[in-house]
Structure 1
Amino acid sequence: MTGRTAFRVSLLLAIILLITTFIKLPYYVTQPGMASELKPIIKVEEGFDKEEGSFSLTTIRFGRANPLTYLWAKLNEYHYIHPLEEIKREEETDEDYLNRQLHMMEVSQESAITVAYQKAKKEITTTYNGVYVDGIIDGMPAANRLEVGDRIYKVNKKELETAEEFIEYVSAKKEGDNIVISFERDGRQMEESIKLAVFKDQPNKVGLGISLVTDREVEVHPEITLNTHEIGGPSAGLMLSLEIYNQLIEEDITKGYKIAGTGTINSEGIVGPIGGISQKIVTADKEGIEIFFAPNEENNPNSDYKEALSTGKEINTKMKIVPIDTFSDAVNYLMKLEEKG
């Protein structure tokens, strides 16, 4: 093959590879991401600045698959391929998905602040403003009537505080009942009268076909600033609460260790499971994390903790993987931990 021919072949292959990157397949690819320290993005005014170790959140990288990334995922361990419906809800646009992730992060952040300030016995006031729509089921009454991001503040003129309150109210109704939803969209006050219907997969349950998160405002003293604009989803909840708490108290509960973990958290301090914990274990191990907190789900045999342990053995990690059910479990573990020598 002459030099000119080889050049042409190489150029053709390069063009083909470039073109394949623009071909979108009906899959997403996820892979281990990175561990990010939380101290630089969380600031408690007049808080204690004494960390010898660190608290970090762990992330997963993901993106829409093209032929190259799909093949790469097939060839690499801990790179997973997911059908679109596993990542995005049916009929959910990219904008809807982003809004849902941001809303989940806001709720997680508020819960983390609440738990940490209550544990540290600091001043906290919570104001409830209704509920956000964070998902809509296609074919149900709310489709084409409500949108992801709408803030519902009344149902049948009754003011709402929490998502649980809305669900309890609607659950007492019957199929065919009309309810009037008062909501806010893009700063505009709106109203819709919507007829309740039976869920296809739950014939004994009626509703609008929406999923909800509580909209609340948390005011605290001392004040706190969180720069979490680029973080989506709820999985950083546990680690956010630990970093906030550590800045509120005199003692450094990191004890000099590099600590990471994952798990949702609610305002009662209960830690919930997340997705992709195996990839987060791989990430934490590569980043030199020494202690990793994993949701235990009350000793569920299929818990995130069990999966984390299995992955830890597979990669022969020296990292200590700790089962956690509540925020207090994590704090108590750290309080008993010996200072790193």
Structure 2
Amino acid sequence: MNKKIKFKLWHLLAASALLIALFLPLPVYIDAPGAAQDTSSYVKVKGHRDNTPGKFMLVYVKQVKATPVTWVLSFANKYADRVPAQQEVGNYSDKEMQRIQTYYMSSSIAEAKYRSLTMAGADVKRRYIGLYVMSVLKDSNFADKLRVGDVVTRVNGKHYNNSYEYIQAIKQISPDQKVRLTYLRGKKQKNTAGKLIRLPNSSRHGLGITLTDRVKTSSDVPITANMEGIGGPSAGLMLTLQMYTQLSHKDLLRGRQVAGTGTIESDGSVGQIGGIEQKVVSANKAKAEIFFAPNNQKLDKQDNYLVAKKTAAEINSNMKIVPVKNVNQAVSYLQNNK
């Protein structure tokens, strides 16, 4: 083999290796600090413009599929987590995961609308439709019957008003009995039946399905929230604060940069979320002065507030980390603290 051919061969091998290192997808996802976004750019309340100085910010985690290069580089970022694909997305395709995150966000927006309108004293109706099917275990007796996006509306012929009531109803069913489910696929109503299974790593029996609430709200005050590809339920608290500020015309911000995270329930309670460390880093980078973090003392060291406070100290942030159990606590803090 002459030198010219060897030279070309080495160049070809080097180019191939570079392409593999840059673009070969690994079965790993990298979760890293994302960004903090002004919630007013997503929320529109008809007849109620946002003219207050300052801003509310939602924060999100940036999730990317790893390549050899990004996997190595991620070790330089203390707040980047490398998560096996099976753990992060299971057996779902990127398209299915996007749909699941959209369903979570849809539910979060509906609850934020209901809570903010209620707090502002506006007329609002909340209709509980049922439970979105988010995932089905392969061992579930409903694995070949239900799909992601179906909405379960009845269990054994009965409709309930929240997910807790559905869960309690299922707990009362004997494992040797068939469970009848009524569900919506699009606008078409369907029925199916199957027995419960023993849930993984548990002594309990269940459907083997991951579910989240499907809710609709209606009001004379139109509110829209175009999230432009942001999914998941964790923006609920900040969306509620943004909507309420516009509806009430109260200057809660007073020129401040306020970030935070947490799910929102119809009663205003704020729930725990994932990726709290990355979100604190993102908020600090965006120069937030206040960061609201869900607080549940029963979780001990895994409580979002405690982790957020620890992370803020690690990065020498001047942000005030504020624990909240419900949205009223966040409003009260903003009203009573400069």
Structure 1 and Structure 2 fold alike (TM over 0.5)? yes
Structure 2, unmatched stretches of 5+, are: 1-5
The 2-side partners of 1:231 and 1:201 are apart by 32
1:299: Cα distance to partner? 7.2
1:10: Cα distance to partner? 6.9
Q: Give the letter aligned to residue 173 of structure 1.
A: I
Aligned residue in 2 for 1:245: 244
The 2-side partners of 1:323 and 1:150 are apart by 35
Aligned residue in 1 for 2:172: 172
The 2-side partners of 1:112 and 1:7 are apart by 61
**CA offsets 1:201-228 (integer angstroms, 9 cap, x no match):** 333x222211222222101232111112
Residue 6 to residue 333, structure 1, CA distance change in 2 (3 Å): farther
1:300: Cα distance to partner? 4.7
Aligned residue in 2 for 1:38: 39
Query: Equivalences for 1:44-55 in 2 at 5 Å?
Result: 44-55=45-56
Deviates further, 295-304 or 70-79: 295-304
**CA offsets 1:102-141 (integer angstroms, 9 cap, x no match):** 1111111111111111111111101222221112122121
The 1-side partners of 2:332 and 2:147 are apart by 42
Aligned residue in 1 for 2:291: 292
Count of equivalent residues: 334
**CA offsets 1:130-165 (integer angstroms, 9 cap, x no match):** 221112122121212211111122233333443223
User: Any conservation in 2 of the 1:50–1:252 contact (CA below 8 Å)?
Assistant: no
Aligned residue in 1 for 2:212: 213
Query: Equivalences for 1:2-151 in 2 at 5 Å?
Result: 12-89=13-90, 91-151=91-151
User: Any conservation in 1 of the 2:40–2:50 contact (CA below 8 Å)?
Assistant: no
Q: Give the letter aligned to residue 234 of structure 1.
A: P
The 2-side partners of 1:64 and 1:299 are apart by 33
CA RMSD of aligned residues (A): 2.3
Q: Give the letter aligned to residue 103 of structure 2.
A: H
User: Any conservation in 2 of the 1:294–1:305 contact (CA below 8 Å)?
Assistant: yes
The 2-side partners of 1:123 and 1:307 are apart by 38
The 2-side partners of 1:146 and 1:299 are apart by 34
| Secondary structure of 1:239 counterpart | helix
1:73: Cα distance to partner? 0.9
Aligned residue in 2 for 1:261: 260
| Secondary structure of 1:332 counterpart | helix
The 2-side partners of 1:12 and 1:308 are apart by 46
The 2-side partners of 1:258 and 1:165 are apart by 39
User: Any conservation in 2 of the 1:298–1:325 contact (CA below 8 Å)?
Assistant: no
Q: Give the letter aligned to residue 81 of structure 2.
A: Y
User: Any conservation in 1 of the 2:111–2:215 contact (CA below 8 Å)?
Assistant: no
Structure 1, unmatched stretches of 5+, are: none
Q: What's the TM-score once normalised by structure 2's chain length? A: 0.91
The 2-side partners of 1:151 and 1:65 are apart by 33
**CA offsets 1:272-297 (integer angstroms, 9 cap, x no match):** 11111111111111111111111121
User: Any conservation in 2 of the 1:180–1:191 contact (CA below 8 Å)?
Assistant: yes
Residue 25 to residue 219, structure 1, CA distance change in 2 (3 Å): same
User: Any conservation in 1 of the 2:34–2:62 contact (CA below 8 Å)?
Assistant: yes
Aligned residue in 2 for 1:235: 234
1:229: Cα distance to partner? 4.0
User: Any conservation in 2 of the 1:25–1:65 contact (CA below 8 Å)?
Assistant: yes
| Secondary structure of 2:153 counterpart | strand
**CA offsets 1:49-87 (integer angstroms, 9 cap, x no match):** 321110011111111111111111123221211122332
Deviates further, 179-188 or 107-116: 179-188
User: Any conservation in 2 of the 1:161–1:214 contact (CA below 8 Å)?
Assistant: no
User: Any conservation in 1 of the 2:180–2:192 contact (CA below 8 Å)?
Assistant: yes
Q: Give the letter aligned to residue 74 of structure 2.
A: A
Aligned residue in 2 for 1:315: 315
| Secondary structure of 2:300 counterpart | coil
The 2-side partners of 1:141 and 1:14 are apart by 49
Deviates further, 178-187 or 7-16: 7-16
Q: What's the TM-score once normalised by structure 1's chain length? A: 0.91
The 2-side partners of 1:187 and 1:104 are apart by 19
The 2-side partners of 1:64 and 1:247 are apart by 38
The 1-side partners of 2:129 and 2:110 are apart by 13
The 2-side partners of 1:196 and 1:74 are apart by 43
| Secondary structure of 2:23 counterpart | coil
The 2-side partners of 1:61 and 1:13 are apart by 31
Aligned residue in 2 for 1:305: 305
